[in-house]
Amino acid sequence: MQLSDYANRYETIRFERSNGILEMTMHSGGGEVQWNVSRQGHHNELGLAFADIARDTENKVVILTGTGSTFVAARDENEVVPEDNLHDMWDRMMDESAAMLEGLLAIPVPVICAVNGPALIHSEIPVMCDIVLAAEHAEFADTTHMPNGMPPGDGTQMIWPILLGPNRGRYFLLSGEPMSAEEAHRLGVVAEVLTADRLMPRARELATRLAGFPRRSLKHAKTLMVRYLRHRIRDELEIGLLSQGMAIL
C-alpha cells in the first residue's frame, strides 16, 4: 500500500505526507466537519482510511486533525443513508464502528491528535490517539448519546471511564456536559493546551522528533502502549453496540 493508492480515495479526509509524517485532515466539502453516517461519510471512511494507513510502511507518524475551528462539532443535516429501515442501517453502523475504533488502535505507528476545536461527536476518537494536543477553545463532550436517550455503547462507554475514572466517566457520559481543554489537561486526558496558531506547529514538532526513530522501534512501542485498549475494545465493543441497538430499534 502506497499513499498514491488512497490519497484521493476519500470524500471526507485529506492526506499530505512529508518525511514519513502523514497529516490526516477531516473535512466536509473542504470546510469544517459535519459528521456524516452515509456510506461516503466520516463514520465509514475513517475506518477504511485507518486500515489503508496501517498498511502503508512509509508512514512513521500520523497527525489527525479537523478543519477550521472545530474538530467534530455538528452533524450533516443533509446526509442521505442508503438503507430504508433502521435495522439494516444498524447492521452497517456496527461494522463501521468496529472498523473505526479497532482500526485507529491498529495503526502501527504513533498517532498525534491535534484537536483544533470542539469534539462533541465521537469524542473518544481524539483521546484514543497516542498524543493528544488541544487548542485553547477545544472542548470534549458526548452530545449524541444520553442527551438524546441513546446508550453510549459504541466505544465511548469504555474510553472515557478509563481516562477519567469510573465515577467521573459515568458523569461525563450521562450528563453530556462539556469538558474544557484546560480541564481535560488537568485530568490528564490532554497532554498540552495551545493557542490555535501553535497547535499544528507543535504537532509537527513532536511528529518530527518521533519520525527520527527507526520505524521498527515506533511500531513495537505502539504495540505495547495500546495492548490494553485493544483488548478492551475487542471484548466489549460488540456487546455495547448490541445494547445500543436494543434500545433504539
| pLDDT tens per residue across span 105-160 | 999 999 999 999 999 999 999 999 999 999 999 999 999 888 888 888 888 999 99
Kindly state the average pLDDT of the residues 189-204. Answer: 98
Mean pLDDT of 66-71: 96
Instruction: Tell whether 48 is covered by a domain.
Output: yes
Percent of the chain with pLDDT over 70: 100
Cα separation, 205 vs 168, in Å, equals 32
User: Mean pLDDT of all residues in the chain?
Assistant: 93
Q: Is residue 86 part of a domain?
A: yes
Q: What is the DSSP letter of 230?
A: H
Q: Residue 198: what pLDDT?
A: 98
Identify the pLDDT of residue 148: 85
**Is the residue at 135 inside a domain?**
yes
Neighbours of 241 (CB within 10 A): 20
pLDDT > 90? residue 87: no
Question: One-letter amino acid identity for 216?
Answer: R
**Cell for 61?**
507518524
What size, in residues, is the chain? 249
Q: Is residue 204 part of a domain?
A: no
Q: Is the pLDDT of residue 83 over 80?
A: no
Q: Is 108 helix (H, G, I), strand (E, B) or coil?
A: coil
Q: Which amino acid is at 37?
A: V
Annotation says 124 is catalytic: yes
Instruction: Determine which one of 23, 102, 124, 139 is catalytic.
Output: 124
Q: How far is CA 195 from CA 134, 182, 202, in A?
A: 8, 12, 10
60: containing domain: 3-198+209-248
Per-residue confidence band for 38, with pLDDT thresholds at 50, 70 and 90: confident
Distance CA(141)–CA(162), nearest Å, equals: 15
Residues above pLDDT 90, as percent of the chain: 74
Min mean pLDDT across 49-58, 62-71, 81-90, 91-100 is at 81-90
Classified as helix, coil or strand, 44 is helix
CA distance 6 to 48: 10
pLDDT of 245 strictly over 80: no
Cβ atoms of 113 and 199 closer than 8 Å: no
User: Does a structural domain hold residue 91?
Assistant: yes
| Predicted local confidence at residue 106, as pLDDT | 95
- Give the CATH number of the domain where residue 80 resides: 3.90.226.10
80: in domain: yes
Q: Max alpha carbon distance in the chain (Å)?
A: 50
**Residue 203 in domain:** no
The letter for the amino acid at 113 is C
| CB burial of residue 2 (10 Å; 0-12, 13-18, 19+) | exposed
User: Count of domains in the chain?
Assistant: 1
- The single residue listed with the C-alpha cell 485532515 is 25
Counting Cα atoms < 13 Å in the Cβ hemisphere of 23 gives 18
